Structure 1
Amino acid sequence: MTSPHTIAVLGMGRMGNAIATRLAAKGWDVVGWTRSGRTSGAVRMTGDPQEAVATAGLVLLALFDGPACRQVLEDVHGSLRADTMVLNTSTIAPAEASELARQIGESYVHAPVLGSVPAASAGTLKILAAAATVPTVQDAVFEPLRAYSRGHATGDPAHFRAAFLPTAHIEGIRDGAFISWPLDEYCALFQGRPAPDEPTRSRRIDTIDVHGTVATATMTLSHGSDTFTDIFLLVRVDDGWRIANKAYHRHS
């Protein structure tokens, strides 16, 4: 019999480990698995994902991307109990979430989170949950903002290029002077690796307002001693939502 008190966390990277640790601290029976073989001092681990899900009432995915989610779910699908829920917190495209929902059925819940590792550790993550539905326009508008967050988290400018239109500018006041970076100049600021203090940084989406084919959004970034308010103008183009421009304020 599946125990509703057992949670299998598949993907024990920084976010997955933080979520698993928080759940264990709150008294849940948590078993973790990761493709890398990474261990965790906070929860029991297994090297077999099918074993991890076999007795779980809830399977929580915290994986890198859509293909990783698809592969892992294909591997464990035969071991899932009929009453087991699959909660996917991974950042994936709406089309990928829809395909996983069709494959898994009504037990699949798409649940992207707003927040980073510190929020997971503190239990303050915001969860956007949807099940048995095709993601709406409002869901899709989150995608470039998540790509933007991944750019900061990894230092990989490819994520910014996926988030912004090629014509985008990033604007604000820097050292008392107005700056307006074209996308290429902005991407050149990132060296392809996370900041040394990345584990302590956090980012959250505060507001999104959609008006047909345009939207505005606000994010708060806490980067070390600096806090930034980012304001985005987004447009819906043929291949989905993209950021047309960003303006920011650095709080002193």
Structure 2
Amino acid sequence: MAGIVKAIEYYIDGGRKGDSQIARKGFAENATMSWSENGKLKSVPIQELYDLYDQPQKPDGGVSYKISSCSVAEDVAIVRIESKFGYNEFSDMFTLVKDGDGWKIISKVYHKK
């Protein structure tokens, strides 16, 4: 479980510090990010998240999260967190795969509350 939390922490810390280089440590190179916008599926390369992290301003109100569920089957995991980036709150769901000794996020799906 510690390796899974570490990957999620890279995601959160990258947003907290506005630094995609930190977030990249938790994601697979070909990871994706998906959500529903006006009832339509949107899915993009994780680079779009990195671009948001690298914008000059950091979120007002801080960054926080809590894990609400985690399901692990050997070398795959699904994690749901409730997160806050500034004044925006999200339900984030991640699919992770064990890569060598570590875990990598291969997909991030989110809902803005």
TM-score range, shorter chain: 0.7 to 0.9
Pair 1:196–1:226, CA change in 2 (3 A):
closer
Partners of 1:198 and 1:191 in 2: how far apart? 18
1:202 maps to amino acid: S
CA-to-aligned-CA distance 1:23-65 (integer Å, 9 cap, x gap): xxxxxxxxxxxxxxxxxxxxxxxxxxxxxxxxxxxxxxxxxxx
Partners of 1:240 and 1:180 in 2: how far apart? 25
Give 1 or 2: higher helix fraction: 1
The equivalent position to 2:93 in structure 1, one of 231, 234, 240, is 231
Deviation at 1:157, TM superposition (A): 0.5
The CA RMSD measured in Å over matched residues stands at 1.9
1:179 maps to amino acid: K
Partners of 1:175 and 1:143 in 2: how far apart? 33
5+ residue gaps, structure 2, are none
Partners of 2:10 and 2:86 in 1: how far apart? 21
Deviation at 1:178, TM superposition (A): 2.2
CA-to-aligned-CA distance 1:92-141 (integer Å, 9 cap, x gap): xxxxxxxxxxxxxxxxxxxxxxxxxxxxxxxxxxxxxxxxxxxxxx2222
Deviation at 1:225, TM superposition (A): 3.8
Partners of 2:59 and 2:85 in 1: how far apart? 11
Deviation at 1:249, TM superposition (A): 0.8
1:165 aligns with 2:11: no
Pair 1:176–1:225, CA change in 2 (3 A):
farther
Partner residue in 1 for 2:5? 142
Partners of 1:175 and 1:156 in 2: how far apart? 29
Partners of 2:87 and 2:69 in 1: how far apart? 23
Deviation at 1:186, TM superposition (A): 2.3
Contact 1:152 1:194 (C-alpha < 8 Å) held by counterparts: no
Partner residue in 1 for 2:66? 204
SS in 2 for 1:178: strand
Partners of 1:229 and 1:196 in 2: how far apart? 17
The equivalent position to 1:219 in structure 2, one of 81, 95, 107, is 81
Partner residue in 2 for 1:156? 19
1:191 aligns with 2:65: no
2:100 maps to amino acid: D
Q: How does 1:93-112 map to 2 (within 5 A)?
A: none
Pair 1:220–1:235, CA change in 2 (3 A):
same
Give 1 or 2: higher strand fraction: 2
- Higher RCO (CA < 8 A, seq sep 6+): 2
SS in 2 for 1:188: helix
Give % identity. 28
Partners of 2:87 and 2:77 in 1: how far apart? 30
Q: How does 1:73-152 map to 2 (within 5 A)?
A: 138-152=1-15
Partner residue in 2 for 1:179? 42
